[in-house]
Amino acid sequence: MALFSVKLNFVVHLMLLVSFTKQALGVSVSSKVLAEQEADRVYELPGQPKVKFKQYAGYITVNQTHGRALFYWFFEATHKSQQQPLLLWLNGGPGCSSIGYGEAEELGPFFPQNSSQPKLKLNPYSWNKAANLLFLESPVGVGFSYTNTSSDISELGDTITAKDSHTFLINWFRRFPQFRSHKFYIAGESYAGHYVPQLSELIFDNNRNPAEKDYINFKGFMIGNAALDDETDSKGMVDYAWDHAVISDGLYHNITTKCNFSLPNQTDECSVELNKYFAVYRIIDMYSLYAPKCFSNNSNTRKETTVVRSTTPQTFSKIDGWHRKPAGGYDPCASDYTEVYLNRPEVQKALHANVTKIPYPWTHCSDNITFWSDAPHSMLPVIKKLIAGGLRIWVYSGDTDGRIPVTSTRYTLRKLGLGIVEDWTPWYTSNQVGGWTIVYDGLTFVTIRGAGHQVPTFAPKQALQLVRHFLENKKLPSQPI
């Protein structure tokens, strides 16, 4: 009798939950969909501080035949989540994890800590204070995302990545239909300068028919320190290095006379000089010129890397040595803590991750992705199309990044030939200059003073201010506040 009573109470509770949820969401959500959401609910992670917002993690299948599934981690906004926009964050690489970098070290709620036991720190500048926040590990082969068809890995490129990400979104909204009506935005950095505009274009084209059942309420995108144009990315990278006293006059002269970045392939003489250039960044951090490097005996992670076209891909691994934690809040060994944390079985279980027992450990950037089939030399035609389509587009740049430096981005945006609505203007965080901004006809460019490649890591307060203004379509303050 007692067992029957317990079962009855459970059924009644479930029926009340479904009824209450439907009323609260204001949309029709089936019991099946609610069950799928509940299966992805993450109630508490090992070492996690208490929070009031909900989080979900799991897999969305993007190709049933091949067994391709992408892993996501979703955080509802910290307040009034049903009134806040939805923001998708993508890291680049290609082949690097949006969870490992974006969530765990830049703009997510939880940062793994250096501890013998699993431990997370609450990020006071998490972007879910401004939006419902969705992280995606894309393409397959990255992080916990997987495929049961091994040949898929050798066919990866920009096109399949965009298509799978678009399919992911369509299926994610079917699992979370209560967010379908929310204003939707995409943000990302580095090689996401390809991912974000390409995914945006697919959504934009699919949205031509507003009556389409998979219509997405897409409003715009924001990309930071973004790979956008091979010629200007490469030219700006070299010019920035010379201007910031990283390379000698002689090496700069040799590169600028022997290399022609407007061509798809470089000469052997150019490659020799570029190898000398890249060698300098083995002793300093290319992604943040003035930040300390990590010296750790167990450091084996690598940062996101995009390559100069037709040169040997460069991997800038951290140097082995003794671990040290610098003053000032920034810890160059944070990636080590993330890798340890996400490889813990109890963490993976709590995240509903690695359900297929992937035969390799989780890493920030996939060593399995060694071939990339397609990558346009320039994303500017897509940017122009989306500007004409009326999307909100912001481009931002941390000004101490040597990989896709502010110099590259300025050269790239100049190619667009846009009219200037409001010229170079300082913007403020409290009484301090946060950077500069220029408003073009159809695009806003923002610099973040003192920030490296991963802007939210180095300037978290300014980054949260940036995304809030982007989402609200407001100009950054041009006077001290």
Which of the residues are catalytic? 190, 401, 453
Cα–Cα distances (Å) from 333 to 101, 316, 360, 431, in that order, read 12, 14, 22, 31
- Rounded to 10 degrees, what is the CA torsion of 258, 411, 317, 48? -170
406: three-class secondary structure by DSSP: helix
Take residue 126 and report the two structure tokens written for it.
Answer: 């998490």
Please answer whether residues 158 and 197 qualify as being in contact, where contact means their C-beta atoms are separated by less than 8 angstroms.
no
> In angstroms, rounded to a whole number, what is the distance separating the alpha carbons of residues 278 and 453?
17
Q: What angle do CA 290, 412, 136 make, to 5 degrees?
A: 70
Q: What angle do CA 343, 344, 347 make, to 5 degrees?
A: 105
> In angstroms, rounded to a whole number, what is the distance separating the alpha carbons of residues 355 and 407?
43
Cα–Cα distances (Å) from 425 to 395, 441, 443, in that order, read 15, 15, 15
- Rounded to 10 degrees, what is the CA torsion of 280, 284, 286, 287? 180
R_g of the chain computed on alpha carbons: 23
> In angstroms, rounded to a whole number, what is the distance separating the alpha carbons of residues 68 and 371?
18
**What string of DSSP letters covers 189-208?**
ETTHHHHHHHHHHHHHHHTT
CA atoms within 13 A on the CB side of 194: 26
> In angstroms, rounded to a whole number, what is the distance separating the alpha carbons of residues 294 and 314?
18
